[in-house]
A = this chain, B = another copy of it.
Amino acid sequence: MNREAFSAIVRQSSLFRSINAANFALLMENGILRSVEEEAFFFMQGDPTTHVYVLCRGRTRLLQYTPNGQQIILRLITPGQTFGGIALLQPSSGYPVTAQAIEDSIAMGWEARFLQKLAEKEPSISLNILQLMHHYVLELQERQRALIAERVEQRIARILLKLAAQFGQKTDQGILINFPLTRQAIAEMCGTTLFTVSRTLNEWERKGLLDIGREKVVILQPHGLVEIAEGIN
């Protein structure tokens, strides 16, 4: 467990990048490390909001369950990103989402009370949280717009482009989405079924836009996807 390396990640995280050295030292003293295995949970929807986390290693996803058991993937967390920030709110009614590790993950976490006190000394923390929530609001509004106004095709294209931006790896053929990505997972990100995703991706492969495989997507013609996402047909 390389606490040094993790410390560097926390130092640059969007939540704490602007705090001073003394407070950062405090942060390191009071943070706990949590290791969570693939498929296991940091917390589940409804759990009491005890901790705020910064992911240090691995990949984690935030998701919601619908009453009928369907999952909605809200966002993917990579090292340096914050999750559970909602815990900072005073009267908090439980985490609004579930945080599940996609691969073995390690996060540093702080008790909400500790951070609340720290935030009094270091107001930038509150501001950063506000900033994070703002981004999240914009993301949700955008998704809602897409759900209402766009067809499944467009939404799938959008998700692929977004994943490419977040996890893309340039290869000589195109952009490999460096991420174990099942059809099911794609479907859960854009509100459709794995069947529709499968059909759509295969059609795009036939057109030469993609190169797909088991849990693999390579974008060959990003521009083509952009056109689909924008509804230019």
Q: Within the assembled complex, what's the spacing in Å between the Cα atoms of A20 and B89?
A: 21
Provide the bound-state CA to CA distance between A133 and B67, in Å: 24
Query: What band does the interface of chain A fall in when counting residues whose beta carbon is under 8 Å from B?
Result: 35 or more
A183 at the interface (CB under 8 A from B): no
Q: Which residues in chain A, 98-144, are within 8 Å of chain B measured between CB atoms? A: 120, 123, 126-127, 129-131, 133-134, 136-138, 140-141, 143-144
Report B-chain residues with C-beta under 8 Å of the C-beta of A74. 141
Q: Is A233 an interface residue (CB 8 A)?
A: no
Query: Does A171 make an interface contact (CB < 8 A)?
Result: no
Given A66-B149, A148-B66, A148-B191, do A89 and B134 touch, yes or no (CB 8 Å)? yes
Whether the pair A68, B149 counts as a contact (CB closer than 8 A) is yes
Give Cα distance in the complex from A89 to B133, angstroms.
Answer: 11
- A144 and B72 in contact, given A130-B133, A133-B130, A133-B134 (Cβ under 8 angstroms): yes
A72, A97, A141: residue with the most chain B Cβ atoms closer than 10 Å: A141
With a cutoff of 8 Å between Cβ atoms, the chain B residues found around residue A140 in the complex are 137, 140-141, 144
Q: Check A2 for interface membership: any CB of B closer than 8 A.
A: no
Contact indicator per residue, chain A 149-160, by CB within 8 Å of chain B (1) or not (0): 100000000000
A98 CB to closest chain B CB (Å) equals 12
A47 CB → nearest B CB, Å: 15
Instruction: Give every chain B residue within 8 A of A127 (Cβ-Cβ).
Output: 89-90, 126
**Would you call A206 an interface residue if the criterion is a C-beta within 8 Å of the partner chain's C-beta atoms?**
no
In the bound complex, what is the Cα–Cα distance between A127 and B126 (angstroms)? 8
| Cα-based distance from A39 to B136 in the complex (angstroms) | 29
Listed by A's residue number, 7 A-B pairs whose Cβ atoms lie within 8 Å are A68-B231, A86-B134, A96-B138, A126-B126, A140-B144, A144-B147, A147-B191
